Structure 1
Amino acid sequence: MTQGSGPYRIGVDVGGTNTDAAIIDIAATDSASRGVCASSKTPTTTDVTSGIHAVIEDVLSKTAVNRQDVLSVAIGTTHFVNAVVEADARRLSKVAVVRLCGPFTRLVPPFSDFPPALKQIMGGPVFYLDGGLEIDGREITPLNPDQVKQTVKSIQAAGIKMVAVVGVFSPLDHQGIHEETCKQLMLEQDPSLSVVCSHQIGGVGLLERENATILNASILTLARRTVRAFCQAMTKLQLSCPLFLTQNDGTLTDAATAAELPIKTFASGPTNSMTGAAYLASLDRGTNAKSNTQVLVIDVGGTTSDVCALLPSGFPRQAPNFVEVGGVRTAFSMPEVLSVGLGGGSRVVYDAELDRVRVGPDSVGHYLTSQALVFGGDVMTTTDIVVASGKAKIGDYAKAQSIPSDVVSKARLQIKKILERAVEDMKVSDLPVTLLLVGGGSIVQMDQLEGVAECIIPPHHDSANAVGAAIAKVAGEVDIIEILADRDEKTVLELAKKQAIEAAVARGADRADVKIVEIDKIPLQYVTNKATRLVIKAVGRLALPDATAPTVNSTQPNEVAVNGTNGVADQDAEDFSNGVSQKATSDALESSVKFSIYMDLDAYKPDVRNGVWYLSPVDLEFIATGTGVLGTGGGGPSRLQYLQCLEALQNPDAKDKMRVMSSKSMKDSDICVFGSWYGAPSVSGERMPAGPEIMDAIEYSVKYSGHDHFEAVIADEIGGGNGMSTFPTSVHYDIPVIDGDLMGRAYPTLEHGTPYVYGEPITPCAIADGKGNVSVVLKAESNKRVETMIRAQCVDLGLKMAVACTPLTGEAIKRYAIPNTVSQSWYIGRAVHKARRSKTNLIKAIFDTSPGRLLYSGKIIDVKRDVSRGYTMGQCTIAPLNSDERDLGTTDTGTQSTPDERCIIIPFQNEYLYAAYADAAEPDDASRHEIICTVPDLISILGQDGEAIGSQELRYGLRVSVIGMSAHPLWTGDARGLKVGGPEGFGLDMKWKSLGPYQEPRSVIEEFDRGAA
């Protein structure tokens, strides 16, 4: 192809198998080819750069483009993530971690959930320094320069050069003031250090953001070498234009920044394919997309197909919550991609006995051109089915005619079902789908797909990944908290939008093209001043050299990353292997916090001696899963509390101290305390506890209630993270945990404790934070007033604290506590883990241990949320699965026949309040609701792996099972219980709808007691 009018941009995508390049004439983007002048593909080379050189040289030769007319080169690569997935010590460095946290976060230290192999490679010294922010922007403590200087000396003594600086709530301050000041102080003392600040890496969620920051710091040397090698390749190609790398969210970053923040490029490959597909199909011009459809992209390779949903902004939908990379749970922007086992090389197997055809997931892969029938081989593949169907002429297509017509028909039907299921799983709404097919294997789509309004295979579809890199845009983002009370919300929002636009322009976007593409408004819980987190993203195309906006990178490519930054020495490029898939796993990369994977679960027995159950890491893992199920949507996630329990258990002084006993073992005169966490989930995962909060609250509640001793501790709620908060307390005081709790589930307020419902005193009630602040409510007019008083204190103390009400006697515990709920959570967790491993029915396994009822199986199609009176209020709507989804689901969670194929609604106030059948066309029409069950009975929503889904985690498209379990008679057998814990207590105009009789949970202690040790 001859060259156009120019100027040009070149995009390159380096995959595990092939390296692709495309050159685009940006003056011809309105043409049918969207300005794509040429594309090229070559096998990825072990040194990466020679393959890049080859494909760029090829497209330049094909087009005869003047190299001075090339404005930019953008490269997407999976090279950096492979080093982490492989746990390659040759490419990874040890990292020192500096937390700016004041007294907080000690209970879960850095590297807590790293796989052993990576922890051994990366694990360096850890330092806790003054600094950090509250969620509203207040300082936890001022930064201490003397502490920073002493820390640098310790890092130098350890011989460490890579440092991760992590400040509490640093992402909410877009300037990262504490982190950046700390970095500056460190570099002033030792310029040879490489310091990475976490606010540049990820969002709120300290442990996950810290993990990502550590990974980034560990691969810095590799990143700098690699980017330098890319720059050398450009020099050899005689290209003097800027070099960019594509990021996970589909936007560009300059080479120098990519060398310092390589983690942001980890998932750029799939993103390039998705954005390239949208561009090639002209969806950015609105010529093919319809306003009443949603856009999905399927990138079909030889073995698998990657499916992603495109947002109206044209960028892929980002994965929710957290992403695991090499066994490490991280928080940074990653596209949500579903991979299914269908590609051009998928094996097609006909079972004559069953008269059934199976397509995939096994594949001939890159041996397609030698093993497929049309290429002279003896393996029937999807490519052969395409040829036999007359949909393409590939190879010796006459050889495909030997395939029986009924086999072809059955294979086409299976391919159709696989694609339809993938589309259904990735839909973001119930609108019809515009489907874009790209990749070399896209010919496998031969038939009309249900729910797909239009299917488009755009020009240059086999090079969409390289095109996506070439046309990638520049983004700017702000993430701030604003107080909206007594302010004009529209004015505040407009100012934040302008800040996002300026951030994009500063990074090189064309001001005339920048648009706001994403606005998230997230109200904070437990506050009355309408504090709201605003996350706003602006995106625009890269400015032309003669535009008034500054360019992202003004240095010449051969100048970038020669010495890295912070004094890293120049080194030659090394031999890079790309042979490991991002999905690769090994025993070495299993998470260090998953102890059950090494156990024979059928043979495992808990350590129960003489009526006392001594907990192990496996027990804690089971209990964490079980407390999630009993959380009924609330109680906070169990994971962080589980990690805290592991830290406490693994202390050498903790031997035989973390233990559980039955309430029956208590004397009536014994005193039992409880202490739990209280506050907003948005704070729990960021400003993690200091350590002494619960103990401080307990000791003040004991002191002001007039007691001078206590013999046991009990959880106020077994549901969620609070169900495990007793175990570190058990170790601290060397007292047992009572096998029970004060709710039998999770509830949103203290007044929902069963002893308080029946007249036991709730005051004196003490609260404490990690800075030594303590407050005691000595007396209140009602239990409800106690709640409002401590809630006001919680706001002042940063929305996270510990609380302890007045201790209870052994007699009161035996009368009013819900028995055996620690055991119940253990049995539920063990059932889930065993069923998951054996791939048997998860729901049946749960009900074999804790009787209940499967209320519904389906897919979430709508979630509404609001913050009212400090609680997360909302409603979830779930629709039935179709027959294919029920028959071919990947996880056996059981099936449920829903009357008339109705949907189900589940309102929640933190916890799930009731379940009702609803009309699918008008789910909000209360007059047509049929109540299935209500509080106080337990309603839990489970994912396909059997883990509970909290109300804060609900989102469109999740396949779920809804289960119900009967509440204890303390809630249902007396009007006092129903008044507080039933529908009336939540302002619902309905009667309690029972699931059936309650059955007391089994006791681990009674089943496994082996007598005296």
Structure 2
Amino acid sequence: MSMSFFRIGVDVGGTNTDAAILDVTAADSPGRGVLASHKAPTTVDITSGIEAAIRAVLTKSGVNQRRVLSVTVGTTHFINALVEADARRLDRVAVVRLCGPFTRQIPPFSDFPVGLRRILDGGAYYLDGGFEIDGREILPLNPTQIQSVTRDIVASGVSSVALVGVFSPLDHQGLQEETCRKLMLQETPGLRIVCSRDIGPTGLLERENATILNASILRTGAQVTGGFKRAMVRLSLSCPLYLSQNDGTLIDADTAARFPIKTFASGPTNSLTGAAFLAGIDRKTQNDAAVVDSDEEDSAVPQVLVVDIGGTTTDVCALLPSGFPRQAPGFVEVGGVRTAFSMPEVVSIGLGGGSKVKLCDQLSDGVMVGPESVGHRIQEEARVFGGSTVTATDIMVALGKAQLGDVEIVRDIPQATVARAHQKIKQSLEGVIERMRVSSAPVHVLLVGGGSLLVAENLRGVDKCIRPIHEGAANAVGAAIAKVSGEVDSIEIPAGRDEKTIVDAARQSAIEAAVAKGARRDDAKIAEITKTPLQYVDNGAMRIQVRAVGSLAIPESLPSRSMESLVVDGKADREQEEEDEPGGEVGLPDAQEPTVRPCLNIDLDSYYPDVRGGVWYVSEADLEMISTGCGILGTGGGGPTHHEFLKSLHALRTSRPGKLRIISPKVLRDNDIVSFGSWYGSPSVINERIAGGNEIIEGIEAVNKIRGNKSFNALLLDEVGGGNGLSIFPPAVHFDVPVVDGDSMGRAYPTMYHSTFSVYGHSLAPCVLSDARGNISVVMKTDTPARLERILRTTAIELGLGCAVCAKPLAGSVIKEYAVPNTISQAWFLGKAVHLARRKKTSHVDAIFAEAAGTLLYDGKIVDVQRYIEGGYTMGTVIIAPADDGEVDSSPGRSRFGASAPPRDRRRMRIPFQNEYLYAALSADGSEAGQEVVCTVPDLISILGQDGEPIGSQDLRYGLQVDVIALPAHPLWKSAAGLKVGGPEGFGLSMPFVGVSESFTESRSVIDVFNVG
């Protein structure tokens, strides 16, 4: 007879603390080894509730406690401290950047909510150090500098430090951050120091933010995990204690105390993985495919979606074949702070068992279900329980699809209303399920939650619907079965090796990392592989990210761990946890204080920009509106706007009033000198090795010195599209010169020679590249504009793929003739339109077309994205399929488009891109065969998300609901010379130019519209 071993899982929710105990040797039994479960009220101190729940399952199961192998706890305590901005549980944090001359243009805490920043900001320090993307050191560490800064931090009264090195996640040995940490601890042993490479991937600002948040709750983390250990002692459990992480894997309690941020989203993940385990999904799919590769798909393996229907919302998450939830792409906001760490990707809709059912004449079917809900008061307010509110639950009871409450009470609901409401519920569920599909493979739905009675029949697009056993204990079971993970994240240069050799080595390294953390070697499998080619490099470099997972190994003998190993500070029998320190307030921002979302603080309907005497004095709200508009004009390229918005916001706030100003090109004198400056390189570098702030400034100074210009009169954007649409604002503040309302592209384009000045015969040379270290490279003259681009690109690689480019200054007469005018104004009007539509919940597409002539080309869902690197550019194609009726939110005021809605075309749209979107075509299957091209460059093709926010080509992914719009390009691009460079021919496409039907109308000028004197 085999010996049984047990694991205990605990999930601490806002209302209840759930516990479950499993026999791990009986996981293949019909009951999946669940011996007992229990719900206890969540207590203020958390620990006593956990203790009560564990004691209950031990009593119910009657197991031998010496055979309990582990206890795993999932808790929301840490994230609550941040969301509530509770100063009693948070500490000030000093940020130490290992960056050399870089990153100063966006200081730490730049995009923190004001109240939270007031609590946490413990100062910023910039030290020598950091790496280039190819592994070269920016600068070696300076021990004397580190010791001096450490003394300054201690003298300021701060004891928590976020240590952030440029490209530290790619520092395989962790040499710089770890060495710096050791030097700081030698100087002051009591410091709490968090290294950013232990927290998140590349993307400096988001990783740094997460590191700051982690450092701020280290004291609370130690207190909470210490309390858990004391509860273990009181329960006479000597087994290891773990906490569950956001990605469904686990870490030991001591590690969790060092990295509490990794447990923030463990609650939802526990529910998802627990439900999948209870339904036996792991046995049905894990053996078929263990890898989800970014460019490989096995359509034979069913995709599993967990649909959790509660009283108010329905949450849907896709499970990977590994059994773990698909992780959200990009950044995640925690307490209003952009961070970069793993969180499950969950889509929620306002539909649950308590959703209110209302008649609504504005809808074609006359019925609205949700998003309003009676919530936890369903047993008092729903009709079947004697209340007066018709809910989704009442509809299901009236249909005879659910047996609860008093069916007689709901018989008076008109049958037509019942039928339409039921259809609306069904369509909403089918729509959200369709949104979360990741391929054309069959869909299996795992149905959980108290509102799951809303599903009483087959759902369109769903092959199988599964309701698991022990559903109420799914979250605790998820904690109990959590696995161990090992990760590898590296930049690899082939150097003669083939890709398979490189990937196989990374796979093995990830497995070894998991085994080292306690995973069973025979169970350790690869859960995820992502391969990302790097832009603008010619050595084939790629980023490899691999994650391996495995079950905790069962020891060959019973644990011999002593109870003393769980004693914390010699206080094993202490009955109460440490109290939060007295004093301190919840950090709510004052209404008058600045925020990183200025538009939220103004009445957009009545807002007027400050324009006096023909000069536009830019405000913080103006910057935010311009940022959104630049994204639309980016046509998929130009880079994200968020960092450039923060740089401009910082420049505005730290300068005297009136220094950031815009003038019309009409007021330029013919002999005025106008300079240029923008960013050049790879977004992967620019978003990690953030600018020092001197690059564009020194480039402008250098090119003017070469030209013999002792001064200049104004600055002009190279491109208004994307992040470069704001890049000139900080230099304008520095030089105290105005920015001309216009640019040389009217959009974003991938090369320097995609400039109207270059097109019409004005050389961009001499042209300067400059970086934060003071390196300046000059191209004095080239025989062709294309050769200038190639020389610049070669130099940019040497400079680390992130630098400033400053072309030859031009005379005012040239600017007035060949610049695209009023494009900053256009960005402002577009941005304001989107923000206003978002606030009023009206059509953002109609709002855009009220400001700029354009066409809605398509609306639908992204069903395929292909990317590759060619000639240093990110190339690829996105395929968009028509949205189904159930996927479109048609509630009043929520339509993404109104009058702009085109006839529904059931063909698919194909959009190739070279950084920017090149053309849009329709065909039956999204292929080139038989395609009808409906728009090409130079007209502007933009893809917008459901909130009107533009989606860059780097952010395209399967499942996004999008609108594709097109705006006509400026006439400067419609000449033979313009089309040769900026049209299809300029991108090697053998097709004629196809423009949108609307004729170009020059954007209104903010200066002309709002000038008061």
Moved more, 94-103 or 875-884: 875-884
For 2:929, what is the secondary structure of its paired residue?
helix
Aligned match of 2:896 = 892
For 1:75, what is the secondary structure of its paired residue?
strand
Deviations 1:344-363 (A, max 9, x none): 33334467999954433333
Change (3 A) 1:555 1:248: farther
Aligned match of 2:293 = none
Aligned match of 1:12 = 10
The separation in 1 between residues aligned to 2:469 and 2:816, in whole angstroms, is 73
The separation in 2 between residues aligned to 1:193 and 1:870, in whole angstroms, is 44
Aligned AA for 1:280?
L
Aligned match of 2:216 = 218
For 1:113, what is the secondary structure of its paired residue?
coil
Residues 430 and 887, structure 2, Cα contact 8 Å, conserved in 1: no
Residues 88 and 580, structure 2, Cα contact 8 Å, conserved in 1: no
The separation in 2 between residues aligned to 1:349 and 1:585, in whole angstroms, is 36
Aligned match of 1:809 = 811
CA shift for structure 1 position 366: 2.8
Residues 530 and 546, structure 2, Cα contact 8 Å, conserved in 1: yes
Give the paired residue count: 991
Aligned match of 1:581 = none
Q: Does 1:530 align with 2:537?
A: no
Q: Does 1:786 align with 2:791?
A: no
CA shift for structure 1 position 395: 5.0
The separation in 2 between residues aligned to 1:588 and 1:468, in whole angstroms, is 42
Aligned AA for 2:524?
V
1:517 corresponds to which of 524, 527, 530: 527
Residues 428 and 886, structure 2, Cα contact 8 Å, conserved in 1: no
Aligned match of 2:189 = 191
Residues 983 and 992, structure 1, Cα contact 8 Å, conserved in 2: yes
Residues 342 and 359, structure 1, Cα contact 8 Å, conserved in 2: yes
Aligned match of 1:313 = 322
Residues 4 and 23, structure 2, Cα contact 8 Å, conserved in 1: yes
Change (3 A) 1:350 1:763: closer
CA shift for structure 1 position 874: 0.3
For 1:751, what is the secondary structure of its paired residue?
coil
Aligned match of 1:987 = 988
Aligned match of 2:470 = 460
Deviations 1:135-161 (A, max 9, x none): 111111001111111111111111011
CA shift for structure 1 position 393: 3.7
Deviations 1:155-174 (A, max 9, x none): 11110111100111111124
Q: Does 1:592 align with 2:595?
A: yes
The separation in 1 between residues aligned to 2:451 and 2:915, in whole angstroms, is 45
Aligned AA for 2:566?
E
The separation in 1 between residues aligned to 2:3 and 2:418, in whole angstroms, is 47
CA shift for structure 1 position 398: 5.8
Residues 211 and 330, structure 1, Cα contact 8 Å, conserved in 2: yes
1:243 corresponds to which of 238, 241, 244: 241
Aligned match of 2:919 = 914
The separation in 2 between residues aligned to 1:557 and 1:307, in whole angstroms, is 43
Change (3 A) 1:806 1:404: closer
Residues 108 and 688, structure 1, Cα contact 8 Å, conserved in 2: yes
The separation in 1 between residues aligned to 2:796 and 2:568, in whole angstroms, is 48
Matches of residues 954-973 of structure 1 in structure 2 within 5 Å?
954-972=956-974
Q: Does 1:629 align with 2:639?
A: no
Moved more, 624-633 or 235-244: 235-244
1:620 corresponds to which of 617, 623, 629: 623
The separation in 2 between residues aligned to 1:629 and 1:570, in whole angstroms, is 59
Aligned match of 2:334 = 325
Residues 510 and 547, structure 1, Cα contact 8 Å, conserved in 2: no
For 1:452, what is the secondary structure of its paired residue?
coil
Aligned match of 1:726 = 728
Aligned match of 2:1009 = 1007
Aligned match of 2:437 = 427
Q: Does 1:481 align with 2:479?
A: no
CA shift for structure 1 position 757: 0.9
Residues 12 and 42, structure 2, Cα contact 8 Å, conserved in 1: yes
Residues 327 and 591, structure 1, Cα contact 8 Å, conserved in 2: no
Residues 21 and 37, structure 2, Cα contact 8 Å, conserved in 1: yes
The separation in 2 between residues aligned to 1:227 and 1:20, in whole angstroms, is 18
The separation in 2 between residues aligned to 1:555 and 1:135, in whole angstroms, is 47
CA shift for structure 1 position 384: 3.9
Residues 205 and 688, structure 2, Cα contact 8 Å, conserved in 1: yes
Change (3 A) 1:352 1:522: closer
Aligned match of 1:66 = 64
The separation in 1 between residues aligned to 2:576 and 2:651, in whole angstroms, is 44
The separation in 1 between residues aligned to 2:413 and 2:848, in whole angstroms, is 46
Residues 239 and 561, structure 2, Cα contact 8 Å, conserved in 1: no
Change (3 A) 1:292 1:512: closer
Aligned AA for 1:305?
T
The separation in 2 between residues aligned to 1:236 and 1:302, in whole angstroms, is 37
Aligned match of 1:770 = 772
Aligned AA for 2:216?
S
CA shift for structure 1 position 672: 0.7
For 1:888, what is the secondary structure of its paired residue?
coil
CA shift for structure 1 position 902: 0.7
Change (3 A) 1:843 1:350: closer
For 1:901, what is the secondary structure of its paired residue?
coil
For 1:76, what is the secondary structure of its paired residue?
strand
2:452 corresponds to which of 420, 442, 452: 442
Aligned match of 2:661 = 659
Q: Does 1:344 align with 2:356?
A: no
Residues 766 and 776, structure 1, Cα contact 8 Å, conserved in 2: yes
The separation in 2 between residues aligned to 1:353 and 1:714, in whole angstroms, is 48
The separation in 2 between residues aligned to 1:667 and 1:864, in whole angstroms, is 48
The separation in 2 between residues aligned to 1:194 and 1:615, in whole angstroms, is 41
For 1:120, what is the secondary structure of its paired residue?
helix
Aligned match of 1:394 = 404
Aligned AA for 2:745?
M
Q: 5+ unaligned residues in a row in structure 2: which ranges?
A: 289-298, 582-586
CA shift for structure 1 position 343: 2.7
CA shift for structure 1 position 484: 1.3
Aligned match of 2:1000 = 998
Residues 238 and 566, structure 2, Cα contact 8 Å, conserved in 1: no
Deviations 1:521-558 (A, max 9, x none): 1111110000111101111001112299xx9x978696
Aligned AA for 1:517?
A
For 1:40, what is the secondary structure of its paired residue?
strand
Residues 435 and 887, structure 2, Cα contact 8 Å, conserved in 1: no
Matches of residues 642-657 of structure 1 in structure 2 within 5 Å?
642-652=645-655, 654-657=656-659
Aligned match of 1:580 = none
2:566 corresponds to which of 559, 565, 579: 559
Change (3 A) 1:594 1:353: closer
For 1:634, what is the secondary structure of its paired residue?
coil
The separation in 1 between residues aligned to 2:877 and 2:751, in whole angstroms, is 20
Aligned AA for 2:677?
G
Q: Does 1:573 align with 2:578?
A: yes
Q: TM-score, normalised by structure 1?
A: 0.94
1:843 corresponds to which of 842, 845, 867: 845
Q: Does 1:298 align with 2:307?
A: yes
Aligned match of 1:579 = none
Moved more, 463-472 or 589-598: 589-598
Aligned match of 2:203 = 205
Residues 317 and 336, structure 1, Cα contact 8 Å, conserved in 2: yes
Residues 891 and 945, structure 1, Cα contact 8 Å, conserved in 2: no
The separation in 1 between residues aligned to 2:285 and 2:92, in whole angstroms, is 51
Residues 89 and 580, structure 2, Cα contact 8 Å, conserved in 1: no
Matches of residues 630-709 of structure 1 in structure 2 within 5 Å?
630-652=633-655, 654-709=656-711
CA shift for structure 1 position 610: 1.2
Residues 228 and 558, structure 1, Cα contact 8 Å, conserved in 2: no
Q: 5+ unaligned residues in a row in structure 1: which ranges?
A: 577-583
Moved more, 489-498 or 722-731: 489-498
Moved more, 401-410 or 209-218: 401-410
Moved more, 608-617 or 399-408: 399-408
Q: Does 1:273 align with 2:271?
A: yes
Aligned AA for 1:60?
L
Deviations 1:925-982 (A, max 9, x none): x23110111001111111111111100000011111111111111110x211111111
Q: TM-score, normalised by structure 2?
A: 0.94
CA shift for structure 1 position 90: 1.1
Aligned AA for 1:316?
P
1:97 corresponds to which of 83, 95, 98: 95
Deviations 1:786-827 (A, max 9, x none): 110110111111110001111111111111111111111111
